[in-house]
Amino acid sequence: MEPRYRLRVYLLTALVLFGFGVLLSRLYEFQIDKRDFYRNQVPGNRQITVREPGIRGTIKDRNGIELARNKRQYEISFNLEEIHGAYRLQRAEDPTIEREQSEKGMPRVGPETDIVEIVKARVIQPLTDLGLERDFNAEKLRTHYKTHGGLVPFVYTRDITYEDFAKFAEHSLDIPGVYLNVRPLREYPYKALSCHTLGYLRQWATGDIPEDARRQYGYQYVGDDKGVAGVEATLDDILRGSEGWKQVVKSEKGKILGETLVDAVDPGIGAEVTLTIDAEVQYLLSNILRRAGTASGVVMDVETGEILAMASVPDYNPNDFIPSISKEKNAEYETAKIKPLIDRAISRFPPGSTFKVPTALVGATKGFATKSYSCSGYLSYGSAKVGCWIAQKGGSHGGLTLPKAIQQSCNPYFMQLAGSIGAKGMADGFAMLGLGEKTGIPLPNESPGLVTGSRTWQRERPNAKVTPIDMGFLSIGQGNALATPLQLCAVVSCVANGGRYYHPRLVKRAIAHKGTENEEVIKDEPRLKVDLLKEGMKASDLNLIREGMRMAVNVPGGTAGRAKIPGYEVAAKTGTAQVSKVLDLHNAWTIAFAPYDKPKYAVCMLVENGKSGGAVCGPLVHLLFRGLMARDEGMRLPLHPLEPVVGNLDPIKEIALPEDVLAAIDVSQDDGETGNEGTDAATAAGIPTEPLPDSQTVTPKPTITPEADDEGRVTKPRKAPPRNR
């Protein structure tokens, strides 16, 4: 073939291939990309898939009492695209509104369809005739239409009763684009009870909609609410039910005609979560904490590490956030002087003399439990002197054994013990006891605390070196030492049960429902972290620590006499830590376990700005153990919905016990712990005594309910006055 003919063949072939390419690309555009658009142009009925969100699983206490559940909620929603389409069937032009828009950074003014006027003309008047009209936010409706069109329904109101539902159902076919839905609504029946543990939800947002939603769900997309606090957040994946869908038949005019029953999948139910919390004990603890202004407390089962109660004051009502929170209530929470959304049970605070217990435990693993140290009223670190509380009364303790040092809370004893252990031994030993690291409890924003020499401490102070005075202050819970009430409760639980440290457990089990079968996604199994008797500690040495805590409550001269209960032996250790010398702020602590012979409960109490661990927290521990022991003897504890409290930081010198109780116990001995011991020396040594900033101050942003604006306010026409005849 001649070259000129060959060139023509090549050109012809290229043209044919190019034409086929253009044809195929157009076919792809019409049949794939714009398939739904052209299908909608074809007259006749069509099927559209509607997404239905899953049903959230319930959260129960250990005895099956529902703490978070779902109830029915009736809502009226608008399909704005359908309302717009019905409007255009009767009118040639849309009402418009002049709006400022931005294009490539340049502002311009242009008209756009005013969906608000369309809704008023097509929908509001019929709803008014039915008595179902409500004020709404017009600007939010415009934004919703521009963002979602008809994919996501606009929720007009959830403020309707079952009677309204029945009335609307009779006339729903007369209002195109307006629908009544029945959806599950989260409910916390006991209000503020265990609110920090449960958390709350946030409505699904625009960013939660997948990119292919319009193709997959042609009529409407309703997303799943999301947990943003408490176990609602950490267990969100298993609490959410699987999505469902159904196909609806839509006429050529866009009206829903009915539902097919062949292609439909019911929404799934999320996992049923059972907490280790005992609702009655939680109610008891929460009410006791209300005797203080700002406080937190933890109760644990010493044999399993299960948390029976964990509360923090001030608190909040999680129902305020469901389905969204009002601007007024949100402002109330945000401007509160003491932030109610912070869970103080897992936040870090200076622990004071409660750290003498873990120091004793670490010392026992090193073989120092039987060693005696002498107290002359103070201990010198170069030019700095750290005093003992008894020195303020002009005395000294002299030679002390470990039980006596715990009973009388002697600073020099434990500072010398820390010196014998050494910096690395203290850091490693405290880490073994879960201090300076997170416990792993399934709650967001848990603080790891702070232990001098630990990895967290080194990250926050990369160039700092651990000095002997650092170890001294760590042993008495001053200086840089920080811990959470949960961490200290786990430590005292270890002392009570014979040296076994269990990871604190908040979730007892979780059962996921998969068809006709159930799957245990979280098993009911205690998790042992360490057994101190296998780490070098002798049982007899542990008994010395236990005996010291018993003496602190039951022997004259102890610091925890107010925790004593007639008929039972309680073991405890108090602590008072100075938080701010300038503001004269203190933290009062008491950690305890009971009964002494057969321990069952471990307790930690913290009161912010309490002036004395023994005089402030001791009575709270006393009241808590009285309730627990009464229940063990067959008395049933009360359980009711709990209203939230605001809290305060007013100084508390003492929490009074009833006179008959005081007569039965010995409270003549002051605990002596003003929290001032060692503070001046810490300042001189360059050790800060102010609490370090904590991540707990950052709380998730809730969904705020928009208020009705002037455009969205419904004004009913006045009836004409009757004419005189």
| 3 state SS for 500-561 | EEECCECEEEEEEEECCEEEEEECCCCCEEEEHHHCCCCHHHHHHHHHHHHHHHHCCCCCCH
Closest listed residue to residue 413, CA positions, set 363, 366, 452: 363
Closest listed residue to residue 306, CA positions, set 165, 502, 554: 502
Cβ(620)–Cβ(607) below 8 Å: yes
From residue 570, alpha-carbon distances to 295, 563, 614, 629 in Å are 22, 7, 14, 11
pLDDT of residue 215: 56
Sign of CA dihedral 663, 668, 669, 674: positive
Quote the tokens at residue 627: 């309730």
CA separation for the pair 671, 681 (Å, rounded): 21
- Average pLDDT value for residue range 174-181: 78
User: Residue 190: which pLDDT band, with cuts at 50, 70 and 90?
Assistant: very high
Closest listed residue to residue 309, CA positions, set 289, 341, 283: 283
Percent of the chain at pLDDT > 90 equals: 49
Q: Which H or E element spans position 281?
A: helix 279-289
CA separation for the pair 645, 267 (Å, rounded): 38
Q: Is the pLDDT of residue 722 over 70?
A: no
State pLDDT tens for residues 358-411: 999 999 999 999 999 999 888 988 888 888 888 777 788 899 999 999 999 999
Q: Is the pLDDT of residue 191 over 80?
A: yes
Quote the tokens at residue 355: 């750290």
pLDDT of residue 718: 42
pLDDT of residue 212: 61
State pLDDT tens for residues 293-313: 999 999 999 999 999 999 999
CA separation for the pair 344, 365 (Å, rounded): 31
CB atoms within 10 A of CB 650: 9
Which residues are bridge partners to 73 per DSSP?
A: 183
Mean pLDDT score of the chain: 84
Domain ranges of the chain: 73-188+205-222+244-266, 279-697
* Least-confidence region, from 330-339, 401-410, 421-430: 330-339
Q: Enumerate residues 6+ apart whose C-beta is below 8 A from 540.
A: none
CA separation for the pair 433, 449 (Å, rounded): 12
From residue 657, alpha-carbon distances to 272, 291, 370, 564 in Å are 41, 11, 37, 11
State pLDDT tens for residues 658-705: 766 655 555 544 444 544 444 444 544 444 444 444 444 456 677 787
Q: Is the pLDDT of residue 721 over 60?
A: no
pLDDT of residue 266: 79
Under DSSP, the state recorded for 706 is P
- For residues 339 and 144, the model is more confident at 339
CA separation for the pair 441, 430 (Å, rounded): 18
From residue 459, alpha-carbon distances to 93, 287, 450, 452, 544 in Å are 66, 39, 11, 11, 35
pLDDT of residue 526: 94
Backbone angles phi, psi at 284, to 5 degrees: -60, -50
CB atoms within 10 A of CB 275: 29
Is residue 202 packed enough to be buried (19+ CB in 10 Å), middle (13-18) or exposed (0-12)? buried
CA separation for the pair 425, 412 (Å, rounded): 19
From residue 692, alpha-carbon distances to 74, 253, 457, 574, 689 in Å are 47, 64, 11, 23, 9
CA separation for the pair 85, 40 (Å, rounded): 12
pLDDT of residue 719: 44
User: Residue 551: which pLDDT band, with cuts at 50, 70 and 90?
Assistant: very high
pLDDT of residue 678: 45
CA separation for the pair 601, 630 (Å, rounded): 13
Under DSSP, the state recorded for 582 is T
Under DSSP, the state recorded for 105 is T
CA separation for the pair 228, 104 (Å, rounded): 36
pLDDT of residue 704: 80
CATH architecture type of domain 279-697: 3-Layer(aba) Sandwich (3.40)
CA separation for the pair 573, 357 (Å, rounded): 8
User: Residue 37: which pLDDT band, with cuts at 50, 70 and 90?
Assistant: low
Under DSSP, the state recorded for 199 is -
**Helix extents (H) in 449-501:** 455-460, 468-475, 485-496
Under DSSP, the state recorded for 420 is H
State pLDDT tens for residues 448-505: 999 999 888 888 888 888 999 999 999 999 888 999 999 999 999 999 999 999 999 9
User: Residue 584: which pLDDT band, with cuts at 50, 70 and 90?
Assistant: confident
State which amino acid sits at residue 341.
L
Q: Is the pLDDT of residue 287 over 90?
A: yes
* Least-confidence region, from 30-44, 401-415, 417-431, 577-591: 30-44
Which residues are bridge partners to 595 per DSSP?
A: none
- For residues 182 and 650, the model is more confident at 650
pLDDT of residue 58: 97
pLDDT of residue 100: 59
pLDDT of residue 661: 61
